[in-house]
Amino acid sequence: MIKGKLGKWLNWIVSSILMVTLIGVASLVIVTKFSGGEPEVFGYQIKTVLSGSMEPDIQTGSIIAVKTVEDGSKFKKGDVITFMADKNKLVTHRIIDVKKTKNGVAYTTKGDNNNAADSNPVLADNVVGEYKGVTIPYLGYVANFAQSPNRSIFLLIVPGILLLCYAGFSIWRTLAKLETVKKSEHTG
């Protein structure tokens, strides 16, 4: 009796995990593709951390949620911002100094794990968002892997195949139980 209930619970748990994995990965891939690589949920963009400049608070390979901002001039010393360092390079560092210039507000930034401040000041216009402390370790490796079209298909196929295999195994096991019940009815 306990074995039967335990088996049902185990079956339900494994099926649920596989289904949530498949839906989660599919959602991540679809949102990434439709948003041009910048997924945004409730005003937060999901960013992948590729360096250790903000460790230990933000680990390499993490994903972080960055609150998008319209006005990049409202930040103060100690805030952690994400900004365009180059054309195709985003950086998330802490503000260590704020200066008002003729071109607007400029921030001096530094990675918590770096020995020196960043060499170029950050203009308020280059600020993309503010890091609010939401980080998920290691998931950035998966998100970065999913950026390639071939890899994203792989991430959809593998959980799908696992789910199909598990469903096939469950069907086979059920049919075997039915056959056992039929044999016991014929002999009994």
Active-site residue, selected from the candidate residues 51, 53, 73, 170: 51
* Cβ atoms within 10 Å, residue 51: 14
Beta strands 44-48; 89-101: pairing state: unpaired
Catalytic site includes residue 148:
no
Residues whose CB falls within 8 Å of the CB of residue 175, separated by 6 or more in sequence, listed in order: none
Look at residues 76, 58, 46 and name the one whose alpha carbon lies nearest to residue 113: 58
Return the amino acid letter for 109: T
Tell me the angle at which helices 2-34 and 149-187 cross, rounded to the nearest 10 degrees.
160
Which residues carry out catalysis?
A: 51
